[in-house]
Amino acid sequence: MEGLPPGLLAARREAVLEALGRGVMVLAAAPILRRSRDTEHSYRPDSDLFYLTGATEPHTVAVLAGGDEPRFVLFAQERDPAAELWTGERVGPEAAAERFGADETYPLAELEARLPVLLRESDRVYYRLGRVGDLEGMVLEALAYARSRGQRKGIGPRALMDPGAILDEMRLLKDEVELRRLRSAAEATVAGHRAALDTIRPGVGEWAVQASVEAAFLREGATAPGFGTIVGSGSNACFLHYVDNRKMVAEGDLVLVDAGAEVALYNGDVTRTVPASGRFGDLQRAVYDVVERARTAAVAAGRPGGSIGGVHDAAVAVLVEGLVALGVLTGSVEDLVEQEAYKPFYPHQTSHWIGLDVHDPGDYAREGTSRTLEPGMVFTVEPGLYFRPGVDGPAARFEGIGVRIEDDVVVTEAGCENLTAALPTAPEEIEALVAEGAGRSRGRG
């Protein structure tokens, strides 16, 4: 994996050290997760640790200590030829100083002894509880030790804080390096969805669509899907996080594909809903058109000076207008929005931040007011309408129809850039792409 520029990482750490004052931040590598017995899941580095250090190995701990002599201390696994035969070469503490720009590096085995010393003159400790078992115990013991030894001198930490108090705001605004990676993730994500359009047709398993999407991700340089790929055909599209992907696509089904590629640890997240038979049915098209208008309105609202809540409000207003036009809701749009009468058909928010994490950190509101959008903020726009099985009343004629359309956008100085605009959303273009894909499939057959 291509590393982040050393100068960029150093600047980020300098900003954190300044914000820490006399505090200390402790960041740990993500744990190795077991799939079953001695079989491990593919390792995925911790996002905060990578953001500040570029380190991607398990069993790595970074300590950023503020105060009169601010420094970056890194603890890493020692070299072990026997273990490396199985899992690959380790950096080791000796090489870590040069590779990651640490002021001091030590073997991980020394962490327990050195951590209390690093904490003893701090006034607070930034550490995320509940992340890593052994380290959490060390942090709490070191905290107690530092407080007891500093009691008579009036020094030592008096508070335990979440690192997000500093890092979440930094990670919310993407720099140019991050935007390049997000554009690459968006391109790979679009390629995966185009592969889905080549595969979707009646008689194909949802799992086969998933396979085509994820294979295209890997061909485009992704390391993995950023999250469990969703392929929901027919009424399965009405379940927001359906990931079983075990149903056969039927004639006349809509197929909702929600998938994103992870490229250099940055993520895409896109949804398209397409007709398996190549043409939308009348009711399907009526619902799709409403959602597409909502997506267009929401993207337009994603401009500097607007708010993330305003993006949602723009989508909701169009969706409610559409539900009234479809005969699903009755009354004034304003009253229906205020009453949240749309919630049975649109239960989720329109956007989430995206970056190193698919759901990236960052507050959506401050002191009860929706967050103002600034250049460098990257988020999804994903309105939808879902008429779940068993829906009654005027909505019953749309039963089993689920539509979501999602793009990834970045706020710019001039407005809003759609990173995934290369993948069409217009219904006529979607129909044409499905037809082309079906034609290529017949030709291969």
Residues with catalytic annotation? Answer: 38, 241, 258, 269, 348, 352, 359, 382, 386, 404, 406
| Closest among 55, 134, 140 to 102, alpha carbons compared | 55
Query: Can you name the residues that pair with 126 across neighbouring β-strands?
Result: 25, 161
C-beta separation of 222 from 213 below 8 A: no
User: C-alpha angle with apex 289: 288 to 293, nearest 5 degrees?
Assistant: 120
Environment class of residue 43 by beta-carbon count within 10 Å: exposed (0-12), middle (13-18) or buried (19+)? middle
CB neighbourhood size of 262 (10 A): 22
| Closest among 280, 324, 329 to 429, alpha carbons compared | 280
Residue reference for tokens 């997240």: 269
d(CA 36, CA 370): 43
Q: What Cα–Cα distance (Å) separates residue 358 from each residue in 125, 143, 316, 352, 367? A: 27, 33, 23, 8, 25
d(CA 197, CA 259): 13
d(CA 115, CA 92): 19
Q: What Cα–Cα distance (Å) separates residue 107 from each residue in 76, 77, 337, 418? A: 5, 6, 58, 45
| Closest among 391, 220, 380, 402 to 312, alpha carbons compared | 380
User: Residues 6 or more apart from 8 whose CB is under 8 A from it?
Assistant: 175, 177
User: Residues 6 or more apart from 443 whose CB is under 8 A from it?
Assistant: none
d(CA 418, CA 306): 16
| Closest among 336, 291, 303, 226 to 426, alpha carbons compared | 291
Q: What 3-state DSSP class applies to 406?
A: strand
